Amino acid sequence: MTFDQAKESFLTTQRQAYSFLSAVALMYWDLQTIMPPKGVSSRSQVLGTLQGEIFRLTTSDAYGAVMDTLAEAPEKLSAREKRMLELAQWSYNRNKKIPADAYEAFSVLTAQANHLWKGAKEKNDYASFSPHLQKIIDYARQFAEYWGYADKPYDAMLAEYDPALLTAQIDPIFSQLLSGTRKLLSRAGENVALPNVTVPPERQKAVGEYLLAAMGYDLDAGNLFTTEHPFTCSIHSGDTRVTTKYHPTQPLSSIFSVLHEGGHGLYDQNVSPELDGTNLRDSLSMSIHESQSRFWENTVGRSLAFWETHLEKVNQLSGVALCDDPKTFFRAINAVRPSLIRIEADELTYNLHIIIRYELEKAIFNDGVNSDTLPELWAAKYEEYLGVRPKTYAEGVLQDSHWSGGSFGYFPSYALGNLCAAQFANAFEKQHGSLSGHVQTPEGIALLVNWQKENIHRYGAEETPRRIMERVCGENINPDFFLQYIEKKLAEVY
């Protein structure tokens, strides 16, 4: 095989895998949003089959030989093609170690388990879900051994979402974050309460679409739908969908869910269309991706300046006043209240929710903890770190969908994303002045979105996380920026 033949074969395989992945993404979105319950089993089998085909395609001996040929003459490749090859080889070398039938069986299991998780959460029935979770854990542990790891088995799971981060690097970051958070908890004082209101789902959807448009999300290249656990689904550059969940008596839940998923959506919509059909269409790391969702949810979405512009319109669309005064609203949405539910947590204590999950996942993979003991360990850690204890499984170990999907190692990216978001905000303000002045006007929002696009979004996976952080912020992940940011906000709130 000549070099040119190998290159064409490599690019063809990339396009084929991308097409399969787009189909899987669309089917997964359908499964999580509008799939009739009786269709779940059949759809899970179809998803497993498709993911098995993607796996076989990208771990075949022929594909490996093609990449070996390209690696012999890297000077003939463009910088973009070299990065595509680098990522493809990493994935190939990692997944080649897993038997294809095991990967396909795992894909079917997790597709089915998500539906079972929903039912278990609704019924507060952990006992029925625990055996399925244990099967997922067993597969994931087996995969960790196949993949190999630098120090601890959990490192293999982290690599799926942030290849350059190990527990040895995250531990000191989280230790500093935990210590700083505990100190700042003493700053909290008397909280402002908002009036109890009821906002029907159709009005909440109108609010959500208004906020998405206000933040620059293109509703002609996406939509807003409902699901049990909000997520964003990127099918290609012209189709990125966000989801939320409506609680009629808790309209703020959907508002901040929409802002969070809208941040993910902006990222995916602004990846360069030139990367469609390649492995560079993916995000460079979930910590960077989560930095964008947390940035819009919190840095922008919980700022006084944003609500000075948008509160009146949101009240109008809601059909009831969530609050009449932006300053009171700002204080209420930033109130510090140690609580049980991660996605409803305030900005300060949110990271404690993540550290708890991080420690539990380390215990699962490094210490052999199994599903039957997780509820009690979960409850004990919540009591230790947040001073609250779940009374039900639904508000405890069953509250998140991640483990049902086998996404062990994902949770740390939320807290790391918070840290990166603070650093990105600092970098933006060094160039363009106060963020508050920009989030009050459409022109300022457009400038902010374009800054994110040019510095972060458009690259997809062309850049590494470390290169992005060092190029944009001048250094890698540093908790000091977040702790300074949240201390300043607490002084304004209290």
Active-site residues, by number, are 261
User: The sheet that has 232-236: what strands, in order across it?
Assistant: 224-226, 239-244, 232-236
Q: Which two structure tokens, joined as six digits, stand for 404?
A: 């049902």
Name the nearest CA neighbour of 230 among 379, 348, 399, 416: 399
How far apart CA 450 and CA 432 sit, in angstroms, is: 12
| DSSP state at residue 373 | G
| DSSP state at residue 459 | G
Please tell me whether residue 310 adopts helix, strand or coil conformation.
helix
The H or E element that residue 98 is part of is none
How far apart CA 182 and CA 270 sit, in angstroms, is: 37
324 CB neighbour count, 10 Å cutoff: 11
Asked whether 438 and 445 are in contact (CB, 8 A), the reply is yes
Name the nearest CA neighbour of 27 among 53, 3, 4, 46: 46
Name the nearest CA neighbour of 16 among 59, 73, 58, 65: 58
- Give the strand pairing for 232-236 and 239-244: antiparallel
| Residue 348: φ, ψ to 5° | -75, -50
Which residues make Cβ contacts (< 8 Å) with residue 34, sequence separation at least 6?
Answer: 225
Asked whether 475 and 413 are in contact (CB, 8 A), the reply is no
* Rounded CA Rg of the chain: 22
- Could you give the angle at which helices 350-366 and 167-185 cross, rounded to 10 degrees? 150
How far apart CA 379 and CA 374 sit, in angstroms, is: 9
